[in-house]
Amino acid sequence: MILYRKAAPLRIRRAAAPEPPFWCATSIEPYSRSGARLWRASAERRAGGAHHSIAIDYLASRATAADRVEVTVTENVRTELERARIDAPVLIDATEAPEVVFRRGEEVLRFCDEERINALFLTSTRGALPSLDCGSYAAAFTIAAWPPDQTAIFEQAHGTTWGVVIPVIYPITTDLDALNTLAENARANGASFFAAMPVDVDATAKQAIANELQLAADDDRYAMLFHADAAPIHLATERHIAALAASHGMRDFVAPPRWEERTNWNAAVLLTLTASRMIAMELDLDLAGLIARSARAVAELDKPLVRVAEAASLSIIEVLDDVSRDILQEWLEGAEPSFVEYVNEQWRLSRSSGAPL
């Protein structure tokens, strides 16, 4: 059963520094957390497939399942946005079917357009993209591949700045053939990035997967789902998705709007991405911690890095470690930082062969 309720407050959250996987300074949710991501229709459930009964909270990185939910919808989007402090880049969470009905995410994007605020519009394969006349100012669209077998929306995104994020959930989105098909489909429709998103799968979601895939107790997948640590295969799949992205000519992370600009926020994204991958691979954890600390410091700087580099040198920013300073200097000069490339090459690992694609 689905109950729709209006007059919910607009959820606006701010981050002091970029965080994976969306890297935005402000996130805006026009639908309630419990409603927009726990929505499922009985017709979809009868259509079959575990992914139809699992829904995802993309900001909390959590998958769950529910039979009865409430969808609360913000009524006065513009009024609340005009009263709020909005820092760019913005993430607009407009996933799932409520956006098809209410279009509140599109209203938020129109406001960002008018105010010239960089925005990342997040939808899903059973959601909706905004109208063609919306998102003209520095907007990028991210389509969550959930459910992963409903990709008609990829064709609708063709011709825009867009990419795919894949919630990694065993055994639905860890299948190598399915991932390759998604990558080929995304690239054929002009996607600029193809990225993984780690997801915490709660007990209700695991049970829904087992029930709808009809997994018997002696099935290896059942044992992996309930009795084993799925973290290694999830991590291996994230790295495999990165390798797929590189082999298909796409970025392997969600690129914020105006990623090509040398802003402090983008610099912090670059450092945080590098540090998070090092930590996941357990590669020089002490250095990874220093780079992560430098990323936060860069995000909080008052002066633009570009001006600091032009007027003096990045060495005057005492909180930067040596490796972060070298990374940023190369990046400001328009080059791909060599240390970042080294980490990325280590990260992009094909799960099937154990070697980079």
Tens of pLDDT, residues 270-329:
999 999 999 999 999 999 999 999 999 999 999 999 999 998 899 999 999 999 999 999
Within-domain flag for 253: no
Verify that 62 and 121 share a domain, yes or no.
yes
Verify that 75 and 176 share a domain, yes or no.
yes
Within-domain flag for 316: yes
Picking from 220, 247, 274, the residue at the C-terminal end of a domain is 247
Would you call the peptide bond into 171 cis, given omega within 30 degrees of 0 as the criterion? yes
For the entire predicted model, the pTM comes to 0.91
Within-domain flag for 164: yes
Q: Long-range pairs for 79-82 at CB < 8 Å and ≥24 separation?
A: 80/9, 80/10, 80/12, 81/10, 81/28, 81/108, 81/111
Verify that 146 and 277 share a domain, yes or no.
no
Number of domains in the chain: 2
Verify that 286 and 234 share a domain, yes or no.
no
Provide the residue range defining the domain that includes 65.
Answer: 2-247
Tens of pLDDT, residues 108-158:
999 999 999 999 999 999 899 998 777 677 789 999 999 999 899 999 999
In sequence order, what are the residues at sequence separation of 6 or more whose Cβ sits closer than 8 angstroms to the Cβ of residue 57? 33, 37, 38, 63, 64
Verify that 193 and 274 share a domain, yes or no.
no
Within-domain flag for 26: yes
Domain of 308, CATH number, reads: 1.10.150
Within-domain flag for 119: yes
Verify that 279 and 240 share a domain, yes or no.
no
Within-domain flag for 354: no
Within-domain flag for 141: yes
